[in-house]
Amino acid sequence: MPDTGENKDMNSLWTPGGEHPIDPDDPASAPPEQPVGGMAPENMAPEDHQRAEELARDMAAVQEQLASMPAAVVVATHAMGLYELAAIHLSKKPANLTETAVAIDAMAGVVEKLPGRLGEAEDTLKAALHQIRMAYVKFEQAARVAEAAGPDEPDESGAEDGAGSDEG
């Protein structure tokens, strides 16, 4: 965070949305009395303590690996994860358009707000965003047509969606 020259105390939390004051006397802002796992290390069985230490070492190794990678690579990977999430929601029967839109909008927020900063993956991400948006539009149009047609009824071929018949 850039130094603004102001003498700030540590009673605030910085987030992308800005500084948020924290009242040290407010119990809601105090750290929990017990660790997140619910058990203090001194109360753990030896095998649980060993597992917790292994987990902490593994987490530290992952953090070190992430820190050694360019942020653009990590961000691009997450953006592709959003693409995959959107595709998963589109592949449901019926497609979950609301959840798909959230994933697409999140991906767009990353790709469109970081032009020129996503490295080698940027062109791929832009193409993927365009592709998933086009797929969304097709699914949304199909949902509107299906809704306008009313409840699915089998046609003469036995297909419920009319895909098996060339007749109009």
Chain segment 17-74, per-residue pLDDT in tens: 777 777 777 766 666 565 555 677 778 888 888 888 899 999 999 999 999 999 999 9
- For residue 145, is it within any domain? yes
CB neighbours of residue 78 within 10 Å: 13
- For residue 43, is it within any domain? no
CA angle at 96 for the pair 111 and 118, rounded to the nearest 5°: 10
- For residue 130, is it within any domain? yes
Q: Tell me, yes or no, if the pTM score tops 0.85.
A: no
Q: Strands, DSSP E only, in 60-122? A: none
Structural domain boundaries, residue 135: 71-149
- For residue 112, is it within any domain? yes
The overall longest dimension of the chain from CA atoms, in Å, is 78
- Residue (of 81, 141, 62) closest to 54 by Cα position: 62
What is the rounded average pLDDT of the residues 101-122?
A: 98
Higher pLDDT, residue 27 or 166: 27
The number of folded domains in the chain is 1
